[in-house]
Amino acid sequence: MKYTNLPHTDIEVSKICLGTMTWGRQNTEEEGHEQMDYALEQGINFFDTAELYPIPATKERYADTERIIGNWFKKKKNRDKVILASKIAGKAEMTKFIRTTGINRDTIKQAVEGSLSRLQTDYLDLYQLHWPDRTTNYFGKRGYKHSINDHWEDNIHQILEALRDLVREGKIRHVGISNETPWGAMRYLEESKVHASLPRMITIQNPYSLLNRLFEVGLAEISHRENLGLLAYSPLGFGTLSGKYLGGRKPENARVTLFPNYNRYSSGAAVRATQKYYELAQANGLSLAQMALAFVNSRPFLTSNIIGATTMDQLKENIGSIEVQLSEEVLHSIEAIYNEIPNPAP
């Protein structure tokens, strides 16, 4: 395994992070425990979860993923071996069963304490805002369009104050953002610069893959100049970059087969790009999944690459990508495909 540091800290994390959002829906608790056992054996010490998981989110399964992880900690008694990240859900139609108000002092405190209880731990190493309350472009929206119905009032100072208090209480160690825009990232960073007592956002968990490199447009420079580390999610684009859906295939129990509305990476342009990347991987003796993950692993702004798997074979292949070094020829060919079909999946 290879390791990096969480920016602005001495906390060493594996460059592959274990994603957990299928546990409790596509995976049983036993399977989740098996994945954590194997990941830890392979040197992965960084796990990412959220109160929203498993996905798709439902009232009946709310926060079951955190409970599965908490039961594993209780059984294994190894909380000290894991750098643990979780998230508070933002305001949205799909989260009305969690809370009807947005992210504020009260909801942050409630969410953190709920996560700590379910995870059976006294602290979280990284606590993230899952997505912004304000109306902006995330979750597959390509560009920003102002809405006259956006009545959001800037509460970033108050959010950072609430997070600061939880840091002081020892319940969280560091904070991060997710599904955030360049404006939002800089707004948080500047607020903590102006007010030294407020915690600094150290990571940003956004989508990044061969099919979605929009992070490079504005956020990569921020990552470099502000040392804001990317935690890349969906590096395989809901599994499409394994190639398993090519040719119109619908593998049994696969995410897009089970949940066809998860079509963010399934547009015509995305399928054409995936086919080209598949052929490139094949021509170089690589699996498409490992080439796609190795590409993400190679990015200079990456702190950790969040993988997810529903089978042990997938997990082993994904973790194995850390040993794959892409040649300059392959990287050049990837850029050629990207220039032909740039960012087909927002």
Percent of the chain beyond pLDDT 90? 93
Closest CA to 184 of 149, 150, 154: 154
Contact status, residue 309 vs residue 20, Cβ threshold 8 Å:
no
The whole-angstrom separation of Cα 125 and Cα 60 is 27
- Mean pLDDT for the stretch of residues 6-16: 98
Q: What angle do CA 123, 129, 132 make, to 5 degrees?
A: 170
pLDDT at residue number 265? 95
- pTM for this model (two decimals): 0.97
| Residues 6 or more apart in contact with residue 336 via CB below 8 angstroms | none
Mean pLDDT score across all residues of the chain: 96
The whole-angstrom separation of Cα 317 and Cα 234 is 15
Contact status, residue 211 vs residue 343, Cβ threshold 8 Å:
yes
- Residue of 38, 53, 144, 245 marked catalytic: 53
pLDDT at residue number 79? 98
pLDDT at residue number 332? 98
Q: What is the pLDDT of residues 221-276, one digit of tens each?
A: 999 999 999 999 999 999 999 999 999 999 988 989 999 989 999 999 999 999 99
pLDDT at residue number 253? 84
- Mean pLDDT for the stretch of residues 171-198: 98
Banded model confidence at residue 23, pLDDT cuts 50, 70, 90: very high
Domains of the chain: 3-240+301-326 (3.20.20.100)
pLDDT at residue number 5? 98
pLDDT at residue number 112? 98
Q: Is 144 labeled as catalytic in the residue annotation?
A: no
pLDDT at residue number 299? 98
Q: What is the pLDDT of residues 138-175, one digit of tens each?
A: 999 999 998 888 888 999 999 999 999 999 999 999 99
The whole-angstrom separation of Cα 38 and Cα 147 is 46
